[in-house]
Structure 1
Amino acid sequence: MTDHALSITPDDYGLLTDLYQLTMAACYVGEGISNRWASFELFTRRLPDDYGYGVAMGLAQAIDYLTHWRFSEAQLTALRHTGLFDQAPEAFWQTLAGGRFTGNLWAVPEGTAIFPNQPLLRVEAPLWQAQLAETYLLNTLNYQTLIATRAARLRQVAGPDTRLLEFGTRRAFSPQGSLWAARAALAGGLDATSNVLAALRLDRKPAGTMAHALVMAFTAIAGHEDDAFAAFHRYFPGAALLIDTYDTVAAANRLARQVQQGQATVAAVRLDSGDLAALAQAVRSQLPNATIFASGDLDEYEIARLQQAGAPIDGYGLGTKLVTGEPVNGVYKLVEIDGIPVMKESNSKTTFPGRKQVFRRFEHGQALGDRLGLMDEPAAPDEKPLLQLVIHQGQAVQGPDALATIAQRTATSVASLPGSVRRITQPEAYPVTISQALHDLTDRTRQSVPQPLS
C-alpha cells in the first residue's frame, strides 16, 4: 500500500486499529483464551473543563463498524510481511481470516446526556473480537460526542430561534472527521452545515455564504466591492453578503441606499471580523430588515458575551472552536471475562467491575439524578435504564435513528437536566450515585485482585 490509499472504506475496518490490539489478539489465540466471553465498556473519565454534561454520539458509526469489519487475504498478507507476527501461531491467521463480529452491543441512544464513569456502550463478545474493537469505537465516539456536546451548548446559549451553521470542515482533523463533525453538530442542535458531501448524504440542504476572495477578486477587476455583491446576487438572489472585507459600516451604508432606491434587495449579511457587537448595531441601523450572521472563531462563551452586549445578531457560523478543542476523555476497559468481574486499580484510574446499567430518575420529565448499577438490577418505578441492546449475536437489532430524531432527543435530554448543571461556566455536578450491589461487587473484586510480588 502507498500513501495514495489512505481513504477509508468499510473494507479497511479490520486493519484500522492499533498494533497492540492485534498483538494481544495473537497472544489470546496462542494461549487458548481468545474465545472466552468478555465485556468491555466505553466511558469517559471526565468531561472538558466547565462542561456539566456530555451528549453521546457516534453509535451509528459503531454499528456500521461492528457489522462490517473483515480481514481480506491481501490485508493478512500485508500484515504477515511486516515480520512482527513471525512467532504468532498459525491459528491467529485462521482466526482473522474467518473473523466476524459475533457478539452483542449495548449502548445509550445517540443524543442522550451522559456523565463521567457511565458506560456509553458495552461490547460483549469473544475476547479477541471485543479487544480489536477498541480503537475504532473510541475514535468515533470520542470525537462525535465532543462535537455534539459543543453543539448542544451552543444551542442552549443561542436559544431556539437563532440560526446556527456548522462551518468547520476546513478546521476538522481530517476529511473523514469533517463528515463526522457535521453529522454530530446537526444531531447536537445546529441547523445546517456548509459541508456539501455531509449535507447531501444526510438529506440536508447545505448552507453558506461567500468568502472574501470573491469580493477581492471583483474589486480588483471591476473596481468596487459592490460589483461583487451585485454579481453574486445575480446567481444567488437573497444570499448573505459578506460585507467586512474593507469597511463594514461603509458597505452597509451603500447597500442601504441601494435598497432605499429600489436598486437592490439585501436579505442577509455576514460579519466575520472586528467588534461584532458594535458592527452589528451599526448594520442593523442601516439595514433594519436584513438578517445578520456572524462568524470568526466563535464559541458559546463569545455568543453569550455578544448577547449580553445587545448585539442584534440573528445567526452564527461555527467552525474552528466547534470541531476542535479539549477532547472527551473516553476509555474502553475490560469489566468482565468469562463471567468473572474485573477492575483496574491504578492510581486515579480505578474502574468499576462488572456489566453495568445507567438508571436515570425522572419526575415530570425532569432528570433528578442517575444510579450506576449492575446490569441485572431492576429499575425503580421512577427510573429509566439507558443502555439498550442494539446488536445481538453480530446482527443489528435496531437501525440507526434519523438525524432529526437524534436532534430532538438531544434537545429533550439536555433540557431535562437541572439548570445548574447546564451552565456554561462553573456548572454544578449532576447527582450520580453508585448502587449498593455495585459497591459490594467492587469490594469483593478488589479483595480478589492478586497482590504484586514483593
Structure 2
Amino acid sequence: MQDSSPQIEKTDALQAKAWTPESWAAESLAIAPEEYGLLTDLYQLTMSACYVGEGLHQKPASFELFTRRLPEGYGYLIAMGLEQGLEYLENLSFSPAQILQLQKTEIFDDAPDRFWGLLEDFRFEGEVWAVPEGTAIFANEPMLRIEAPLWQAQIAETYLLNALNYQTLIATRAARLRQAAGPTARLFEFGTRRAFSPQGSLWAARAAIAGGLDATSNVLAALKLGEKPVGTMAHALVMAISALKGGEDDGFEAFHRYFPGAPLLIDTYDTVAAAQRLAKKVADGMPLGGVRIDSGDLVAGSQAVRSHLPDTPIFASGDLDEYAIESLRQQNACIDGYGLGTKLVTGTPVNGVYKLVEIDGTPVMKESSGKATYPGRKQIFRRCEKGQVVGDRLALTIEAALPGEVPLLQRVMHQGARMIPPERLSQIAERTAATVAALPSSVRRLQDPQPLPVEISHGLEQLTEHTRL
C-alpha cells in the first residue's frame, strides 16, 4: 500500500508529452551534470524504491568498489577516476521533469509515493573514503568506499563503476607504457577516435596523462585539463596536396607555411626517400621538430631515417602497446617517442565491482562460488622498507596499523561535501611514477608479473568466518 506523501505535480505541458519508446529519440545523447541522476541502471532505482517501501532506505550502508582479480598479464592496477566520481556525487540530482519521465514509464506504478519526494529533494549526504589517484592497488583492495543512507549509496553504483573502472584501465596501461618506453621517451595519447565514446575519450586523455604519458591530441580534453594539445598531420593532407600540386614535398612545404617546424608524417609513400629529401632541407636550415612513421618495419625504418636525420626526433605510431614498445627497444629501434591509440584506450577491462559490506552496523558478505566477498568496512595497510613496497594487509577499519604500515584509504567527502580540492594532473602523475617505482620488479615486469601478496588480517578472517551463513 502506498504512503500518503504527495506526488510531484504534473504540469499541463509535461502531461501533454506522454512517454513512448520514441519520445526521447531526438534528444541529444550528450551528458550534462543535471542528468546524472538518470545515468544509471534501472535496477538502482527500482531497488531504491523497494527500500523506501520497506522502510529501509535511510539505514546506514557501506559499499566498497574493488576488483576481484587483476586483468590477465597485469601485476598491479593504478587507481584513477576519483575526481570524476566526486564531481558526480556533488551534482547528483533529479529534476521534476526527469521524475515525471520516470513516472510515465509505468514501471514505478506500484512504487511508494514517498520515493518520488526523496528523488525531488535528493542530494548525496554520505561519506567517501578512497585511495589517492595514482596509487597502485591489487585484487580485493577497495579503491573507494561509500558510507551513506542505503538508497543513496545504491543509486551511486553505476556511474562510479563506469568512471573508476575505465580510468583505472587507462592509467594502468599508461604506467606500463611508460615503463616499456623508458623515462625520456615522449608518449602521446592519440586514442580519441578509438575510445568507447566521446565522453570516454576525455576520461582516457586525463587518465593517460595522470598515468605517465606526456600529452594528448584531444583538443577539448587538453584545454579542459590545462594542457597543450599535440599532433602532427594525417596522410590525407599529404595525398591531397600531392595530387593537386605535384608531390609529397609540396604537402610538407604547405604545412610548414602555417605551422613552421612542425613534425611531419613521412610514410605516405616512401619513408626513406622522404627522409633523404628532408635531410637536404634541414641541412639548408629548415627547422623540423620531428618526423612520424606510422607503418612498415619500424625497426629498420627508424634506423634508416636516423641515418639521414641524426638530430631529428623520430616518433612511431600504429596500434602500439607496451609489448611492442619493449620489443622495439630490444631491437635497437631509433625511436624517441610514441603515439598511443587503440591499444591504450581499449583492451582487457578492469572488472571492478561495487558490493554491500555493511548495513545498519551489521557486516554482510556475498558467498557465491567464485564471487565471494569480504564483509565489513576495510582499510588497506601498506608496508614499505627502504622505499620499496613489501606487502599489503587488508584489515577492518577498527584495526590499527602495525609498525611500518601506512593506511591508504582516506576520507575525501564528509556529509556530501568534499574534503580535498581537485589535484593537479602533474601531482597525480608524480604519484603514479613514485608508486610504480616503489613496487618490486617482479610486480612491475610486463612478462609474467607476480602480483603483490595481500595479507588478510586476523580480524577480517574472524569476521568472515562469523558472517558466513
| Contact 2:261–2:286, Cα closer than 8 Å, also in 1 | no
Over residues 208-245 of structure 1, what are the superposed CA-to-partner deviations in whole Å (9 max), with x where a residue is unaligned? 00000000011000110000101111111121110000
Q: Counterpart of 1:250 in structure 2: which amino acid?
A: A
Is 1:180 the counterpart of 2:203 in the alignment? yes
| Contact 1:214–1:228, Cα closer than 8 Å, also in 2 | yes
Q: Which residue of 2 aligns with 1:80?
A: 103
**Match among 219, 232, 236 for residue 259 of structure 2:** 236
Q: Counterpart of 1:363 in structure 2: which amino acid?
A: E
Q: Which residue of 1 aligns with 2:10?
A: none
Q: Which residue of 1 aligns with 2:19?
A: none
Q: 1:68 offset after TM fit, Å?
A: 1.0
Q: Which residue of 1 aligns with 2:243?
A: 220
Q: Which residue of 2 aligns with 1:281?
A: 303
**Match among 144, 149, 166 for residue 121 of structure 1:** 144
Over residues 130-153 of structure 1, what are the superposed CA-to-partner deviations in whole Å (9 max), with x where a residue is unaligned? 000000000000000000000000
Q: Which residue of 2 aligns with 1:323?
A: 345
Q: Which residue of 1 aligns with 2:420?
A: 398
| Contact 2:357–2:363, Cα closer than 8 Å, also in 1 | yes
CA distance in 2, matches of 1:48, 1:275: 30
1:159-198 matches, cutoff 5 A: 159-198=182-221
| Contact 2:67–2:141, Cα closer than 8 Å, also in 1 | yes
Is 1:103 the counterpart of 2:139 in the alignment? no
Q: 1:263 offset after TM fit, Å?
A: 6.0
Q: Which residue of 1 aligns with 2:43?
A: 20
Task: Determine helix, strand or coil for the equivalent of 1:39.
Answer: strand
Residue-pair matches, total: 446
Q: Which residue of 1 aligns with 2:330?
A: 308
CA distance in 1, matches of 2:71, 2:466: 32
Scaled by the length of structure 1, the TM-score of the pair is 0.97
Q: 1:21 offset after TM fit, Å?
A: 0.3
1:19-418 matches, cutoff 5 A: 19-260=42-283, 262=284, 264-418=286-440
CA distance in 2, matches of 1:163, 1:424: 20
Task: List runs of 5+ in structure 2 lacking aligned partners.
Answer: 1-23
Task: Determine helix, strand or coil for the equivalent of 1:5.
Answer: coil
Over residues 225-276 of structure 1, what are the superposed CA-to-partner deviations in whole Å (9 max), with x where a residue is unaligned? 000101111111121110000110111111112223x163333100000000
CA distance in 1, matches of 2:422, 2:287: 43
| Contact 2:302–2:334, Cα closer than 8 Å, also in 1 | yes
Over residues 327-348 of structure 1, what are the superposed CA-to-partner deviations in whole Å (9 max), with x where a residue is unaligned? 0010000000000000000010
| Contact 1:267–1:289, Cα closer than 8 Å, also in 2 | no
Q: 1:186 offset after TM fit, Å?
A: 0.4
CA distance in 2, matches of 1:98, 1:403: 34
Task: Determine helix, strand or coil for the equivalent of 2:261.
Answer: coil
Q: Counterpart of 2:244 in structure 1: which amino acid?
A: I
Q: Counterpart of 2:266 in structure 1: which amino acid?
A: I
CA distance in 1, matches of 2:111, 2:402: 49
Task: Determine helix, strand or coil for the equivalent of 1:129.
Answer: helix
Over residues 109-136 of structure 1, what are the superposed CA-to-partner deviations in whole Å (9 max), with x where a residue is unaligned? 0000000100000000000000000000
Q: Counterpart of 2:422 in structure 1: which amino acid?
A: P
Q: 1:60 offset after TM fit, Å?
A: 0.2
Q: 1:6 offset after TM fit, Å?
A: 1.0
**Match among 426, 438, 450 for residue 428 of structure 1:** 450
CA distance in 2, matches of 1:87, 1:366: 57
Q: 1:298 offset after TM fit, Å?
A: 0.3
Q: Counterpart of 2:205 in structure 1: which amino acid?
A: A
Over residues 285-315 of structure 1, what are the superposed CA-to-partner deviations in whole Å (9 max), with x where a residue is unaligned? 0111110000000000000010011001000
Q: Counterpart of 1:434 in structure 2: which amino acid?
A: I
